[in-house]
Chain A
Amino acid sequence: MYFYLKNLPASSQVGALFILVFGLLLIASVTSFAFSIKEFSDEERAEQRRNNLQSINGILRTSWLMVVVFWLGWMTGNRVALTLFGLVSFFSLREFLTLSPTRRGDHRSLVLVFFAVLPFQYWLVYAEHFDMFAVFIPVFVFLALPVVSALANDPLHFLERNAKLQWGIMVCIYGMSHVPALLMLHFPGYDHRNAFMVFFLVMVVQVCMVTQHLSGRWLRSKAVAPAISSSFNWPSWWIGISVASVFGAALAGITPWVPGTAFAFSFIACLAGSFGHFVMKALKRDRGIPSWGAQGRSVTGAGGLLDRVDALCFAAPVFFHSARWYFDL
């Protein structure tokens, strides 16, 4: 079975993978629907079940969306995939900045970020200027933006406003753009299969987050930092990371790596992803909101996209640059 799959042409392999993933998602969705029509005599338990199902449905919806995005990206080529990821960057940055209110003086910087920095960063990925792509934001943009803001002649909370803007760019543009950048890496003997790398990273990080979330519910251990997150605790964190890393090792067949290497890289990605999610929780607490979206109840009307992709935004750059450095690509 393994060798049969290994010897298929790349496109059939990717196709088989998508069939598998769509099948799994379908099963999960049907199961969740079946649970949702089950009746409970006890009102309190029913309420608890409803809440559980709601959060699981949220995760399922995101997974569907992600898989459809990847499928579209794979079907239509790198250019479309990059555009789609660019849109995700755009919308998550929109969410981030809405909840970190800026002042009038930042207007020009914001225009620059959304309509110049973001497209240019993705163009750099597309053109495979990897050295420039890695330094464009930290070196050039972080110098240019404060200048534009300072020219607006408003010193109030200057450092704070700039810090917020830079954080938003770092997470939503810089981090996110490293996911499709994996499509452009040239591993020796691994042509036309780069879609697998994106898939690998997203799956591993997603599995880590879901496992951590579910085991946190199940274990109910003491939270590490209850003021920041009531659910983040070491046992479930370890479970999430180990399960996802083992899962990553099992997926080694679709990567250019042997299981040991795949395990190590999954571990690195999950480490960055889960801590990144935790850090974003701290930011949300600072803003006094439970999530970026709050299911349409928040006054901003944010869709909560950032809640779903934040782990990926932290995992992708770490994963990308460690792989690039280690294999000297």
Chain B
Amino acid sequence: MLAKMMGYFLLGLVRVLTGAQARWHGCPPKAEQRIYFANHQSHADLVMIWAALPRELRHVTRAIAARDYWTKSPFKKWLTSAVFNVIYVSRDRTSDEDPLEPLIEALHNGDSIILFPEGTRGHLGEPQAFKAGLYNLALKFPQAVLVPAWINNVQHVLPKGEVVPVPVLCSVTFGAPMHLEPGEDRRAFLDRARGAVIALRDV
């Protein structure tokens, strides 16, 4: 109940501050299993893409969040698990387990996921090189549709180190789905995926 209220509150807040507009260029919002992958510039990206999705899809689409950051305080943990229902991944590679394990489990359950393949927040205009996770998932789940997304302007809402957000219009642009070509090299695929995300900046 509290989580639901918080969800509505955040949704309202994001809409007032940013407009949270979704622009579907290349594919309609559709209830099929998808892997959305987007650029990452701010913590607000997570909320932004969540708010931009239609309500029906929001429930079956889970974002990926770094375990070390988002479980640091009880509030952050509650927010990410109860409100956003995110999938935690560990960034440190000390353990032997596959860091993609929780994602694979979610995809097996039929959920769609939101991935930030840069792994960390970028500071420059262009996203950094993508990490291999996207490739591995695409290889393992060929039926999941890969949808690139460009999140625009969010870094202006809440720059690093600030606490009060300012209102700036933001949008999420979803592009045409892409596929892993048979026998495509890992690096080539990741570069192609990154290119697809960057290309959405100017449509």
Interface residues of A (CB under 8 A from B): 90, 93-95, 97-98, 101-102, 104, 107-108, 110-111, 114-115, 296, 299-303
Contact = CB atoms under 8 A, between A and B. Distances in A.
Nearest to B202: A299
Chain A at the B interface: SS class = helix
B166 A299 contact: no
B156 A303 contact: no
A101 B21 contact: no
23 contacts: A90-B167, A94-B19, A94-B167, A94-B168, A94-B169, A95-B169, A101-B156, A104-B159, A107-B159, A107-B166, A110-B166, A111-B164, A111-B166, A296-B21, A299-B153, A299-B201, A300-B152, A300-B153, A301-B19, A301-B21, A301-B23, A301-B170, A303-B19
Interface in B180-199: none
Nearest to B165: A111
Given A94-B169, A98-B169, A104-B159, A299 B164 contact: no
B39 interface: no
A151 to B, nearest CB: 14
Interface in B149-172: 152-153, 156, 159, 162, 164, 166-171
Interface residues of B, number: 19
B168 A296 contact: no
B173 A299 contact: yes
A15 B166 CA distance: 39
Contacts of A301: 19, 21, 23, 169-171
Contacts of A90: 167
The 10 closest A-B pairs by CB, nearest first: A301-B21, A301-B171, A98-B169, A110-B166, A94-B167, A300-B169, A111-B164, A104-B159, A301-B19, A98-B168
Contacts, number: 50
A101 to B, nearest CB: 7
A97 B17 CA distance: 12
Interface string B7-30: 000000000000101010000000
Contacts of A296: 21, 23
Nearest to A300: B169
A114 B21 contact: no
Contacts of A107: 159, 162, 166
B180 to A, nearest CB: 28
Given A111-B164, A296-B23, A302 B169 contact: yes
Contacts of B201: 299
A242 B171 CA distance: 42
